[in-house]
Chains A and B, each alone.
Chain A
C-alpha cells in the first residue's frame, strides 16, 4: 500500500472553488479542494516498457492548482480520468528495470502519455517527434489522460509510487540535485516555448509573468534563441532579481508593463473606454506565462502588429480583439516535444537537462520548498502564494513524514 493524494470529482467543491476561491483563497486548499490523502494499492507495471517509480520530489504546477480550484476549462474534462493522482513534475528512482534503464536509476518524467505509452500505432504527431501533440491520448490500454498526473491508471507524482513508460523517462546525471531535477520538466516546457516563439535575431520579447514558467522561459529564451531585449513582467522583488539573473534586460511590475514596453519600443499608447489600454506598436513577440485573462490580454496588447503571441500558461477566456485587429499570430505552447525542429531535432528534455546544470537553475533550485504528503493543505497554500512568499517551486516529498 502507498500513500497518495487523489483528486476526485466533486461538483459542489468545484462550484464553491470557482465561486469564492478568488476572494477566499484559503478555501482552495481547505473545504473546496477536491483532493484527499488516501492509502491505495501500488500501481502495477505489468506491461512491457513500464516500470514503477519511487518519487523523490514532485512539483506543484500552475495547471494542478488550476484543476483543483476549478479554473481549468471544461475543454479538458474529456481528457482526464477520475479519480487520479496529480503530479507530473517528478524526479524519482526506478523500482524495476525498464528496457535499457536499470532499477535504481534516478529519472525525471516527460509526463505526456503518447502513442508509445498507450500501446497504439504512432499517430502523425508522435511519428514526427511532436509527442506533446499526440492524438491518441484517450485510447489504448490506458484510461484517458493527457499526461501522467491526469490519468487514473498511472498514478502520479503526488504519491509514493507511480508507473511510467520508458518513452517518458530520462535518466538524471549525477551532478544534478533532486531540486534541480524536479525543475527539468518545467524547464523542458520553457525550452519548447522559447523554440515555439521562433525568435529572430534581435527580436524584442515580452514575458508576461515571472513564476517558474516565466522565469525558466526567460532563461531558455536567453540561452537558446537570438532574442534582443527581453522584458519580463514580475510582481515580486525576488522574481525581478531572478528575471535579471536569467537574462531579462528589463523588468517591470504588472501595472507598469504596458508603459515600460511602450517606452522601450517607442510605441503609441491608446486608452479605450473603461480603462482599456493598449499599444499600437510594441514587442515582436509576447509570451504569456501566467494564463490569466489579464496576462493574456497584456501580451496581446503589448505586441506590435503582425507580431506573435505565445500562450504558455493554460489560458483563460480573454478579449481577442487585438489578435484580429493587429493580425497577431497567436500560438500555443503545450508541454514539450521529443524532437524540436528548431533545435536540430534535439528533444526539449535533453536541452532542459543541460540548462538545469547551469548556475542559474542551481540557485533557483536551492529555494525549492518541499512538504510531506500529509501536509498537502499547507503545500497548496504555499504554492498559491509562492510568488509573494519568495518560492519559485513548491514540491511534495513523499519520503518525508514531517
Chain B
C-alpha cells in the first residue's frame, strides 16, 4: 500500500533534504517552518499490462471496440508520443511498444495493409532511428522503418500538411495530411503529467507552426493557471477547440497510459524515499553516489544521469473516445501526483533536475532550465500557485551556458541575440518570433538534422511567462552568474544568500514551500 503525498513542516529533527540541481543533487538544510511537499509514494503497478491493453482495446470508453473499427482496405495511421516523455525514458519494453504491437496484431487480423506510424514530435527534433526503435521496439521498427512507414512528423513539409479548417475562435487547425486523411487515426500516449494527453495529443503533436502559434504564445501561456489544470489552462482550451473540430472530421481512437512514480532505478532509488526514513543501505548509496558525482568528470556525470532508465510501473491503460479516455487518465494521474497544500507561501523553492522534455540525450541549457523550473515545476499546481503573487521563486541548477549545437541551434542565437535585447516574452514574441520561425536555416536543420525548430526556444520562454508575471523575484542557487543575468534573473551561492536577496520583497522571515520533485507532484493549493 503506497502512502499519499503530504506536507512536512521542517523542525529541529528534520534532516537535510534532497534538492536536485542539474546533474547532481545537494542535501539542503531548510529554515524551520519550511513546508516541504512530498509526492505520493509510487502506486502499485498493474500486474498484467498486456491484459490491460487488450481490455482497453476491446472495451473502450465511448467507442466501439477497436477490432470493429478495423477493416481491410482502410488507411490506418498510428501516431505516438515522442521522446519528450516519459522522463526519464522508461526501461524496455516501452509501454508504447506494447500498445502498438497489440494494435498492429488486431489490424493484421482485420486485413489492414495500409498502416503508417508517425512520431508526433510537432516542432521537436526528429528522433534518431535508435530512439524510434526504443519506443516502438525492434520488431515494429524492422517491419515499418525500412519501407518508410515509420517516420517523424514533419511540420514543415507543406505537401504533407492539411489545413482542416478554423475553430470558432479563428484558430487554424492544420495537421499531418496522412493522419488527417486516414480512415482511422490511433494515438498512443504516455500521460506522464496532467498537462499531457486529451486533445493536446493530435492537435499539437501532429500540427504545424501555423496551428501551434494560436496557443503557444505569451498571451495564452500567461493566462494558463495552470498547465496542469486543463479547466484553467487557456492552452488547453485552445487545444480542446481544435481537438473537437478534428474529431468531427476524423475518426480518432485515443489510447492513454499512466505511470507510477518509480522514476529512479537502483542505486538511485533512495531519491524516491523520504530522507528521515533512509536506512543504512540508502545512506550508503547516497554517499557513494555523491562521492562518485563529485569525482566524476563532466562527461561521465552526464552519462551517469542520461543513461538512467526508469523502472516505471503502468497504472492505467484507457482507450476510446478522446475526452472520455482522458477523464479516466487524469484521475489516475491525480491519484499518483496530487498533494493537498494549505495556502500560498512567500517563497517557492524548486530543484531543477538534469532532465526535461527537450534535453533527452542532450544538454539542459539555460533556457530549458528556465522552462523546467519556471514553466513545468512552477505550474505544478491546481487551484492557485504555491507562491503568492509578488513572491519569490528560488531555483537550484548550475545554469551553465552550454548548448547542444545539434539539437538546439536556434537556442544559441536566442540566448545571444534575443535575450540580450529583452527577456519580456511579449516583447520578444512581437519582435523576433516570426524571423526565427521562418528562418530557412533552422527549417532546414529541423527537417534534415535533429534540431528543434527555430521557434522552439521562444515557446520554452513562453512556458515561463506565467511565473515571470506572477512573482517578483527569481533567484538561482548555484547558477552561472552571467547566464542567469542574461535571462534577467539573479544568482546566489546558497539558500541563505538567496533568501537574503529576496528579503526586500518577501521580508526576512518569509513562509517557504519546497516542492520536492521529482517524482512528479501536483500541489492542490487551497
Interface on A for B, CB 8 Å cutoff? 256, 259-260, 262-263, 266-269
Chain B interface category by residue count: under 10
Instruction: Check A266 against B439 for contact (C-beta < 8 Å).
Output: yes
How many angstroms from the CA of A256 to the CA of B440 in the assembled complex? 19
Q: Which residues of B contact A263 (CB under 8 A)?
A: 413, 417, 435, 439
Instruction: Give CA–CA (A263, B454) in the complex, Å.
Output: 11
Contact in complex: A269, B441 (CB < 8 Å): yes
Residue of B nearest to A279 (CB): B441
- Cα A268 to Cα B416 in complex, Å, equals 18
Task: Name the distance in Å between B267's Cβ and chain A's nearest Cβ.
Answer: 41
Task: Give B440-454 as 1s and 0s: 1 = Cβ < 8 Å from A's Cβ atoms.
Answer: 110010000000000
- Please report the C-alpha to C-alpha distance between residue A34 and residue B417 in the assembled complex, in whole angstroms: 45
- Distance between Cα atoms of A44 and B57 in the complex (Å): 106
- Assess whether B164 is interfacial by the CB under 8 Å rule: no
Bound-state Cα–Cα, A397 to B37, Å: 72
Closest residue of chain B to A256 (Cβ to Cβ) is B416
Q: Are A259 and B441 in contact (CB under 8 A)?
A: no
Can you list the 7 inter-chain pairs with the closest CB atoms, starting with the nearest? A263-B413, A268-B441, A266-B439, A266-B440, A256-B416, A263-B417, A269-B441
Residues in A with CB closer than 8 Å to B419 are: none
CB distance from A269 to the nearest CB of B (A): 6
- Asked if B440 and A268 make an inter-chain contact with CB atoms under 8 angstroms apart, the answer reads yes
Q: Chain A residues near B417 (CB, 8 Å)?
A: 260, 263
Residue of A with least CB distance to B405: A271
Given contacts A263-B413, A266-B439, A268-B444, 7 further A-B contacts (CB under 8 A): A259-B412, A260-B416, A260-B417, A262-B441, A263-B439, A267-B441, A268-B440
* Cα distance A267–B443 in the bound complex, in angstroms: 12
B430 to A: closest C-beta gap in Å: 17
State the CA gap A256–B414 with chains docked (Å).
13
- A260 vs B413: C-alpha distance when bound (angstroms): 8
In the assembled complex, which residues on chain B have CB atoms less than 8 Å from the CB atom of A259? 412-413, 416
Q: List 6 A-B contacts (CB under 8 A).
A: A256-B416, A259-B413, A259-B416, A262-B441, A268-B444, A269-B441
Q: Give chain A nearest CB distance to B436 CB in angstroms.
A: 8
CA–CA, A256 and B412, complex, Å: 10
A204 to chain B, nearest CB (A): 14
Alpha-carbon gap, A71 to B384, bound state (A):
68
Q: Tell me, in angstroms, the Cα distance from A267 to B440 when the chains sit together.
A: 8
For B416, list chain A residues within 8 Å (CB): 256, 259-260
CA distance A266 to B440 in the complex (A): 6
Task: Determine how close the nearest CB of chain B comes to the CB of A228; give it in whole angstroms.
Answer: 15
* B438 to A, closest residue via Cβ: A266
Interface hits, B369-422 → A, CB 8 Å: 412-413, 416-417
Which chain B residue lies CB-closest to A259?
A: B413
User: How far is A262 from B441 in the complex, measured between Cα atoms in Å?
Assistant: 9
Contact with A along B22-34 (1 / 0, CB 8 A): 0000000000000
Q: How far is the CA of A260 from the CA of B417 in the complex (A)?
A: 8
| Chain A residues positioned under 8 Å from B412 (CB to CB) | 259
* Interfacial chain A residues near B444, Cβ < 8 Å: 268
Q: Which residue of B lies closest to A263 (CB)?
A: B413
Q: What residues of chain A lie closer than 8 Å to B413, measured between beta carbons?
A: 259, 263
Bound-complex Cα distance A263 to B441 (A): 9
Distance A245 CA – B211 CA, assembled complex (angstroms): 41
B417-434 contact mask (Cβ, 8 Å, vs A): 1 or 0: 100000000000000000
Central interface residue in A259, A260, A262, A263, by most chain B CB within 10 Å: A263
Give the shortest distance, in Å, between A123 (CB) and chain B (any CB).
Answer: 49
Q: How far is the CA of A139 from the CA of B412 in the complex (A)?
A: 57
B439, closest chain A residue (CB): A266
Of the listed residues B416, B435, B441, the one surrounded by the most CB atoms of chain A closer than 10 A to its CB is B441
Residues of B within 8 A of A269 (CB): 441
Q: State in angstroms the CA–CA spacing of A267 and B439 once bound together.
A: 8
Give, as a whole number of angstroms, the nearest-CB distance from B445 to chain A: 9
Compute how far the CA of A263 lies from the CA of B412 in the bound complex, rounded to whole angstroms: 11
A164 to chain B, nearest CB (A): 47
Kindly supply a per-residue 1/0 record for chain B positions 344-366, scoring 1 wherever the CB is within 8 Å of any chain A CB and 0 otherwise. Answer: 00000000000000000000000
B435 contacts which chain A residues (CB < 8 A)? 263, 266
B-side contacts of A268, CB under 8 Å: 440-441, 444
